[in-house]
Amino acid sequence: MVPAHIEGMGVDPGNGNLIVMLKAENNLFLPVVIGALETQNIMVHLSGEKPPRPLGPDLFHNTLELLGVKVLRLEIVELKEGTFYGRLVLEHRGVEYEVDCRPSDGMALAIRANAPILIAEPVLEAAGIREEQLKGQNRPPQA
């Protein structure tokens, strides 16, 4: 697994899709297409905005904290038929649990929990791009 962070967000000029760009520690970028709601959930937190009411990821994070569950990490583990697959790794009372999730939802929660984002090496090999390739990327896989 390769540690990564959210490098930026934007719109793919080729097709108008909303994208979150992850940058892995090996300097490969992973563009992930996400929905409008997921974009908002991530952008609100990254910008430091405090919405008047909790968004979905805030509610989930607050509930996990109340129950004593810690978000250990988000892992992006697979790319299958153009779709990324993720899992949240949670810890409660010394036991780790893996929960299947969409990477976009997992990112929204991981950033709230200050948890690392990890990408499986085969996923980066299949879909990672170098910085100089970014302008030629037209159709990134979806979250």
Which domains are seen in the chain, by residue range? 2-136 (3.10.690.10)
Q: pLDDT by residue (tens digit) across 47-106?
A: 999 999 999 999 999 999 999 999 999 999 999 999 999 999 999 999 999 999 999 999
Q: Output the pLDDT for position 79.
A: 97
Question: Are the CB atoms for 141 and 127 separated by under 8 Å?
Answer: yes
Task: Supply φ then ψ for residue 28, to 5 degrees.
Answer: -90, 145
Q: What percent of the chain has pLDDT over 90?
A: 85
| Predicted confidence (pLDDT) at residue 1 exceeds the cutoff of 60 | yes
Q: Output the pLDDT for position 136.
A: 53
Rg for the chain, CA atoms, rounded: 15
Residue 127 tokens, joined: 């879909």
pTM value is 0.89
Question: Rounded to an integer, what distance in angstroms lies between the CA atom of residue 42 and that of residue 30?
Answer: 16
Residue 81 tokens, joined: 């038929």
